[in-house]
Amino acid sequence: MKVSVLGTGRWGSFITWYLSHEKHDVVEWGREGGKSYTVLKETGKNEYVTLNSSVTLTSDLKFAVEFADLIIISVLSNSLKEVLLSAKNYGADKKDIVLCMKGLEEDTGLRLSEVAVSCGYDKNKVAVWIGPGHIEEFTKGKPNCMVIDSNNRELTVKLADSLRSDLIRFYYGDDLIGNEIGAAAKNVIGIAAGMLDGGGYSTLKGPLMARGAREIGRLIKAMGGNELSAYGLCHLGDYETTLFSPFSQNRRYGEHFIKGEKFEKSAEGVKTVKALKLLGEKYNEELPICNAVYRILYENANPMETFNTLFHRSSRTEF
């Protein structure tokens, strides 16, 4: 396929690396003057990958959109709407779109596929690429399983079959609501895990995992999805890479936060927790872990006191 990847951050550059090695024709677009784009343009590599010489790197969005049979977007969630609207000017809404991102719209709680539809994109031409995996492991040849999901079963199957390889084994998703919410929420649980690590309470990560999946499952069900999706690849199945891995930026953010250390990289869960708080209120669902992280990050709650209160509950038969 002819594929254009919009975004030159760590996942955008990895997707470009991956698809070019799988013999697809790839154009990668980034903003002129942007730090990540400039590094790739000047050196052909970044700290994660070295781009194949067959890749075309461009800051011309019109060229990138018109080139592609398939457009994959991998940018920060709060930049998605701007990118979608700009790309639409060149006909991106007429093409199949894949969002390789994990987040929610901060001020509305919209899932990212819903953001695309709100920008005038056909819901049957928008898919998501989510699930566990770290670039640092993939580039060493260590495989993992991920998910393609959409409102359109035919599109889901076509994309999963076209993009899969021995390195990334794609599953067909069948619950767009559950998979998107689960994928976004695991970053918040990852921040909580990092806070426990930083505070010396790593032993509580087991209860965190059990309660986290149950908490998010209830929200997914309230929103009309399948609560069992919280136990699939996009949430519980992604806990190992998010709650334990040294490569997890959300876990590392939480650990640095507790230790009072500055964290230079992006952690999507910081903004996602705002959206989850909104969704919990909208659907009248209690989200104790998400609300605890919100209070710590935005209301200056004492982290360890908050977590001790959270896990110091009366005996009960279920989470």
User: Looking at the annotation, which residues are catalytic?
Assistant: 186
The structure tokens listed for 77 are: 């969630």
Give the 3-state DSSP-derived string for 71-88, with helices as H, strands as E and coil as C: EEECCCHHHHHHHHHHHH
Nearest CA among 126, 54, 55 for reference residue 88: 126
Read off the amino acid at residue 271. K
Q: Which helix (H) or strand (E) holds 21?
A: helix 10-21
Q: How many CB atoms lie within 10 A of CB 39?
A: 16
Q: How far is residue 92's CA from residue 124's CA, in Å, rounded to a whole number?
A: 14
Percentages (nearest 5) of helix, strand, coil residues in the chain: 55, 15, 35
Write the CA distances from 38 to 45, 90, 100, integer angstroms. 10, 24, 22
Q: How many CB atoms lie within 10 A of CB 142?
A: 11
Write the CA distances from 89 to 37, 61, 122, integer angstroms. 22, 10, 15
Strand ranges in the chain using DSSP code E only, listed in sequence order? 2-6, 25-29, 56-58, 70-73, 96-99, 126-130, 144-150, 168-172
The structure tokens listed for 284 are: 């009248």
Task: Mention every residue, 6+ apart, whose C-beta is less than 8 A from residue 236.
Answer: 182, 209, 213, 230
Mode of pairing for the β-strands spanning 70-73 and 168-172: unpaired
